[in-house]
Amino acid sequence: MAKVFVITGPSGVGKGTLIRILRERVPNLELSVSATTRPPREGERDGRDYHFLAREEFARRADANDFLEHAAYSGQRYGTLRSEVERRLAAGRSVVLEIEVQGARQVRAAMPEAVLVFIAPPDPAALRARLEGRGTDTPRAISERLRTAELELEAQQEFKYVVCNDELERAAEELERIVRDELDP
Ligand code: ADP
Ligand code: 5GP
């Protein structure tokens, strides 16, 4: 049966990296493309990495109830369009959402059958090192993301599954096992 998988956790913990590996190993998992008001980073493409929306357009779509969930994060808005999820489920395809914690809570409330996985860092210092190593955010943006991460880390016990992304291959295997077991119990 098609399912919704929500991968959450602080910025820089490795959600995107783990999802990329997961999708190479588990066929037919489709990624929901989120909407955001954040400007594109170098190399990001509209419709592939995000639907990049102007603030007015995001607000209009929120008012129209087009979002399954949406949240404010680091001064920008991010949200999952219902259409991204519903059309795939209707076609019998499982969907993966990569979203922050407030959004994950909203999905849990709206879709109790969704499978939620929190990705945790081996220690808080790893987040700074990974965000700096990724090189996509200014020092100021990194500080803000790390401040938010403190609150997000406190939320991890709310989630059914917690995967510690210590060593990438080990964490990827653990996530793959969770997803396979949920798809074929
Ligand atoms: P997120 O999507 O959670 O913001 P990313 O997937 O972009 O995080 O990962 C942030 C950075 O950390 C990337 O440069 C990535 O290559 C690196 N990274 C991911 N997993 C690990 C790991 N287990 N050990 C070391 N570095 C990692
Ligand atoms: P980034 O700016 O690094 O792409 O994303 C910042 C944060 O927003 C990350 O934690 C990411 O998972 C989260 N995010 C991305 N898309 C969505 C979404 O559709 N909804 C919510 N709630 N968070 C999202």
Pick the residue whose CA is nearest to atom 14 on ligand 1: 134
Per-residue pLDDT tens digits for 79-135 = 999 999 999 999 999 999 999 999 999 999 999 999 999 999 999 899 999 999 999
Q: Could you tell me the distance, in angstroms and rounded to a whole number, from the CA of residue 68 to the centre of ligand 1? A: 26
**Does any ligand 2 atom lie closer than 6 A to the CB of residue 100?**
yes
Question: Which positions ≥6 away from 149 have C-beta within 8 Å?
Answer: 10, 11, 12, 124, 127
Sheet holding 35-36, edge to edge: 51-52, 35-36, 76-81, 67-73
Q: Could you tell me the distance, in angstroms and rounded to a whole number, from the CA of residue 27 to the centre of ligand 2? A: 23
Pick the residue whose CA is nearest to atom 20 on ligand 2: 79
Count of beta carbons in the 10 Å neighbourhood of residue 44: 14
Question: pTM for the full model?
Answer: 0.97
Per-residue pLDDT tens digits for 157-166 = 999 999 999 9
Q: How confident is the model at residue 1 (pLDDT cuts 50, 70, 90)?
A: confident
> Which ligand is located closest to the Cα atom of residue 134?
1
**Does any ligand 2 atom lie closer than 6 A to the CB of residue 79?**
yes
Q: Could you tell me the distance, in angstroms and rounded to a whole number, from the CA of residue 63 to the centre of ligand 1? A: 34
Distances (CA, A) of 141 to 28, 79, 107: 34, 20, 26
Residues lining ligand 1, judged by CB closer than 6 Å? Answer: 11-17, 130, 133-134, 165, 167-168, 171
Per-residue pLDDT tens digits for 44-68 = 999 999 999 999 999 999 999 999 9
